Copies of this chain bind each other. A is one copy, B any other.
Amino acid sequence: MKSLKNDTYLRALLRQPTDYTPVWMMRQAGRYLPEYKATRAQAGDFMSLCRNAELACEVTLQPLRRFPLDAAILFSDILTIPDAMGLGLYFETGEGPRFERPVTCAADVARIGIPDPEGELGYVMNAVRTIRRELQGEVPLIGFSGSPWTLATYMVEGGSSKAFTKIKKMMYAEPQTLHALLDKLADSVTSYLNAQVAAGAQSLMIFDTWGGVLTPRDYNDFSLQYMAKIVDGLTREADGRRVPVTLFTKNGGQWLEAIAATGCDAVGLDWTINIADAKRRVGDKVALQGNMDPSMLYASPARIEQEVAGILEGFGHGPGHVFNLGHGIHLDVDPEHAGAFIESVHRLSRPYHAG
């Protein structure tokens, strides 16, 4: 393995000094880029793109050719694990992901096995290996998974949801069934992420997109404790370097302290929290990732720059900040605005790292 040419992102996650604030964007490989749409069209459907290591590598690298991003993130789907569990993932146009065989009862949970990361999920590891090789040490590669709770919402609801009726019925009426499911998911995510590290991922992120629909107690019992279990079970070193772990719960701003206490290295913030307040609350315990409203990329480059300046000022001097959007980039953003965002972060952050 070649040594890493730009390790700013990894250093920031470990709260080590850097020359500037590193930046990447959630969903940086995606539909706002015309070159992504072209590769996607070549692949056919979305899962075929994920399953093809060369094409998944190609879309992973596309944003890095356009922008001086400080990290690459594996291009894959959040629902690879439930798919590998045999639930029959498919995509309905305009409807998002669906499962042919949702989880409805204890017997369904009992039937589920832990997928083999080099078996049913081998296509993901092939993509990681290919991307890591093609990156040639330019920037670190982020591996990722959905959180057990977030995966379970899709598995029990049978797809996307607004009110989470089915999983909440299960949570309140049959909590032990849901815990059994979450336990299997935690084991699956742990082995999946460790395999990604073995295949070349240099940093890990867990996305808990739907933890924010829970009460504080239920968030702790049904989401956070399973993420903490995963963090405990992860390989934390590779190539002689620490592999940092970032946890991100959308709408989790109220629970930052608890998230920071799991043993993760960094906490992702959405845009509903002021980053200065977040830093005050978690202190030096973890690094912070975030947190510009993705919709700000609709504004002019001058307005974007102003917003970046405010967030940098909010975090203040010193290490421990990875700049990002507070959620994935919207599909109809002008790529030039994304470029202006990234350039602003690099340029305006230098004074905060001087001396």
Residues of A participating in the B interface, judged by any CB pair closer than 8 Å: 163-165, 168-169, 171-173, 212-219, 251, 253-254, 271-274, 277, 293, 295-296, 298-300, 303, 330, 332
Contact = CB atoms under 8 A, between A and B. Distances in A.
Contacts of A253: 254
Contacts of A213: 272
Contacts of A273: 216, 254
Contacts of A217: 274
A49 to B, nearest CB: 23
Given A172-B299, A298-B169, A163 B272 contact: no
A298 B330 contact: no
A272 B165 contact: no
Contact of A295 (B169, B272, B332): B169
17 contacts: A165-B295, A168-B293, A168-B295, A169-B295, A169-B298, A169-B299, A172-B296, A172-B298, A173-B298, A173-B299, A212-B251, A212-B272, A213-B272, A215-B271, A215-B293, A216-B274, A254-B272
Contacts of A172: 295-296, 298-299, 303
A276 to B, nearest CB: 10
Given A164-B295, A172-B299, A251-B251, 5 more contacts: A173-B303, A212-B272, A216-B272, A218-B293, A254-B272
A254 B270 CA distance: 12
A303 B272 CA distance: 32
B173 A272 contact: no
Contacts of A296: 168, 172
A168 B300 CA distance: 12
Contacts of A163: 295, 330
